[in-house]
Amino acid sequence: MQDFVTVTGMVIKTAFVGEYDKIVTILTKERGKISAFARGARRQTSRFSAAANPFSFGRFKLFAGKSSYNIMEAEISNYFESLRTDFEGACYGSYFLEIADYYTRENNDEKEMLKLLYQSIRALQSGGLSDELVRYIFEIRSMVVNGEFPGIPKDREWEGATEYAVSHIAESRIEKLYTFTVSEKVLSQLREIAGRLRRRVMEKEFKSLEVLEQIVC
């Protein structure tokens, strides 16, 4: 009897395998971060050609083999297609995917990280907030979700609005994260806070961040 499992998640990374296949990394609600083969996904006529791309979010029916998963069906509810024509937005999104990949593990409870990632990509796509603000919210809340947020640095004084913004980012429901704007001065302070904490907490050099900073500087 074949062993199938259905998961809900987002493709956060892909790699080519052989001439026509891909292996995709999916951040799932049910099983944390998993990798699965998408057979024939590099063929233009493949039913997985779009589903096996980064940012694709939906339900995946997998065959659970002895050593790997194989995608059998994919029902994608959001491809985040606008990011494919928004180069800067796609760079921010790719950075978010890389942080999600850094933090998550297989068979861990990653529901909050998946929810944060999904809402953050939606915020990039909507254009209601600046991509830069979305970035600092995502960075700080990622640390909170993963138990690594040390609190706002105490070695200098911050604007009251900055302290309030950080408190909102750390404590509010994820669905309410992207519901506020800030002044340029507060944005500048959030930039400093998020950057200092990221360098202190995240022990990794993110390739997508290097590209992003070249673009936005």
Query: Domain residues of the chain, as ranges?
Result: 4-79, 82-216
* pLDDT score, position 217: 63
Report which residue type is found at 70: N
> Quick check: 192 and 152 in contact, CB under 8 A?
no
* pLDDT score, position 116: 98
pLDDT digit string, tens, across residues 52-80: 999 999 999 999 877 789 999 999 999 99
* pLDDT score, position 203: 87
* pLDDT score, position 216: 78
82-216 adopts what CATH topology?
de novo design (two linked rop proteins) (1.20.1440)
CATH of 4-79, one of 2.40.50.140, 1.25.40.10, 3.20.20.70, 3.30.70.2200: 2.40.50.140
With cut-offs at 50, 70 and 90, classify the pLDDT of residue 176: very high
Mean pLDDT of 147-155: 95
* pLDDT score, position 1: 47
* pLDDT score, position 3: 82
Share of the chain above pLDDT 90, in %: 83
- pTM assigned to the model: 0.94
More confident residue, 50 or 137: 137
* pLDDT score, position 178: 97
* pLDDT score, position 191: 97
* pLDDT score, position 173: 97
Mean pLDDT of 133-150: 97
pLDDT digit string, tens, across residues 72-130: 999 999 999 998 888 999 999 999 999 999 999 998 999 999 999 999 999 999 988 99
Mean pLDDT of 128-135: 95
> Quick check: 101 and 33 in contact, CB under 8 A?
yes
Q: Mean pLDDT for the chain? A: 94
* pLDDT score, position 213: 87
